[in-house]
Amino acid sequence: MPKLNLDRLFKYHRPHGTQPDRYARLREAAKTYAATIAELTPESPEQTLAIRCVHQASMHANSAIAVNEPDAETDQWTPPTT
């Protein structure tokens, strides 16, 4: 199993290029979906879990961009390896 690049996973990745726009688009899409869940389902533990899962998916999608694209400062990409 490949070794995880913990430095890459836990460093700050300054947004650059089209990243800020893509982050915003992903957040807006997740917010819309979460609002739809809230509108169409009764308040319940399942509703809360569904909305939390959408939030988690949004965070992982943004992380996919930050962790897996080259950094602006170095223009180098070091894979985090999972």
Has residue 16 been placed in a domain?
no
Q: Percentage of residues in the chain with pLDDT exceeding 90?
A: 68
Has residue 66 been placed in a domain?
yes
Q: How far apart are the two ends of the chain, measured CA to CA in Å?
A: 9
What pLDDT sits at residue 7? 86
pLDDT in tens, 14-33: 999 999 999 999 999 999 99
Has residue 9 been placed in a domain?
no
Has residue 19 been placed in a domain?
no
Based on the structure, what is the number of domains in the chain?
Answer: 1
Rounded mean pLDDT of 55-71? 94
Has residue 77 been placed in a domain?
no
Measured between alpha carbons, how far is 47 from 54 in angstroms, rounded to an integer? Answer: 11
Rounded mean pLDDT of 41-62? 98
What pLDDT sits at residue 58? 98
Has residue 14 been placed in a domain?
no
List Cβ neighbours of 80 (8 Å cut-off, separation of 6 or more). Answer: 4, 5, 8, 9, 67, 68
> Please, what is the average pLDDT of the chain?
89
Q: Is the pTM of this model over 0.85?
A: no
Measured between alpha carbons, how far is 49 from 34 in angstroms, rounded to an integer? Answer: 11
